[in-house]
Amino acid sequence: MSRVLFANFLRFVLLVFIQAFLLKNVTVYDLSVPYPYILFVMLLPFETPNIILFPLAFLMGLSIDAFYDTPGLHAAATVLIAFVRVLFISITVQKDGFDNEPEPTLSSMGFRWFFTYSLILTLVHHFLLFNLEVFRLSEMEYTLTRFLMSSVFTVFLMLITGLLFFRKKRA
């Protein structure tokens, strides 16, 4: 158990560092901004209790808010994806028979499941984040373009990360 705790703590620190110091100023034509820090919430083990999941998601979002000067925007969006994560896992994992897998990674769940999982959670996160950030109907087209482009960029980075750390299933 302490190994899992240490691995998740290291993942938390590493993702905050990467997001805050490497990816903060990475944009593509001011339309696409990657937010791969949400991988922390997505890759938490299946058996993580909700009473731990939601505060961890809030803490991750608050950490990013501290570096981005966005009071509560990332925290709100990250807690929302923690809620959607619980719903998505309760619907798909029991139905598809993945009960014996410890965490929702690309290597343990397969490409199709992980792609769907990461796409849905990223779309939910980015939709709330960009709409809270702009909060004007007059800029709806720009906001939707940023939302879609950033979602594609983020999911691409998450899949690349998953493939880099891909481990074969043990028989």
Are the CB atoms for 107 and 124 separated by under 8 Å?
no
Task: Give the integer Cα–Cα distance in Å for 39 and 85.
Answer: 11
Show me where the domains of the chain are located.
Answer: 2-164
Mean pLDDT along residues 129-154:
89
| Average pLDDT for the chain | 87
Taking the C-alpha atoms of residue 87 and residue 100, their distance in angstroms, rounded to an integer, is 18
Which residue(s) pair with 58 in the sheet? none
What is the rounded average pLDDT of the residues 117-136? 92
In the predicted structure, residue 100 carries a pLDDT above the cut 70: no
CA dihedral (48, 49, 52, 57) positive or negative: positive
What is the four-CA torsion angle of 109, 53, 59, 108, rounded to 10 degrees? Answer: -10
Distance CA 43, CA 152 (A): 19
Q: Is the pLDDT of residue 167 over 80?
A: no
Helices (H) and strands (E) in the chain, counts: 7, 0
The three-class DSSP label of residue 111 is helix
The single-letter code of the amino acid at 113 is W
Q: What average pLDDT score do residues 10-15 get?
A: 92
